[in-house]
Amino acid sequence: ETGVTQTPRHLVMGMTNKKSLKCEQHLGHNAMYWYKQSAKKPLELMFVYSLEERVENNSVPSRFSPECPNSSHLFLHLHTLQPEDSALYLCASSPGRNTEAFFGQGTRLTVV
């Protein structure tokens, strides 16, 4: 295991629901990331937090809302999603922004 834990592992939600994905690391890392992984597409970076401050937001729709309450936890709040948002959502952390990122196992999200 990498030390990056994501919950839940699987999530099915309707388009009108609100849900949250959680990521936790106790590695002492200062940077945390959300990625979207869709079949046959490159991994897409969504958000980057460094020392609890958001430093990157790759034009992600506002129906995805990240939160980093402390250096060990990262959330992705979801609301009014679309079926095309169905994907594997990966969290990662790294000691610094230029060092190796360690990925969690991901949350498989299905929007119905």
Partner 1 sequence: QQQVKQSPQSLIVQKGGIPIINCAYENTAFDYFPWYQQFPGKGPALLIAIRPDVSEKKEGRFTISFNKSAKQFSLHIMDSQPGDSATYFCAASIGNFGNEKLTFGTGTRLTIIP
Q: 39 CB contacts (<8 Å, ≥6 apart)?
A: none
3-class state of residue 85 by DSSP = helix
14-22, 62-70, 78-86, 104-112 -> range binding partner 1 (CB under 8 A): 104-112
Q: Does 103 bind partner 1 (CB under 8 A)?
A: yes
Q: Does 83 bind partner 1 (CB under 8 A)?
A: no
| Terminal-to-terminal C-alpha distance of the chain | 31
Residue whose C-alpha is closest to residue 46's, from 68, 30, 29: 68
13-21, 62-70, 71-79, 89-97 -> range binding partner 1 (CB under 8 A): 89-97
Q: Does 11 bind partner 1 (CB under 8 A)?
A: no
Q: Does 30 bind partner 1 (CB under 8 A)?
A: no
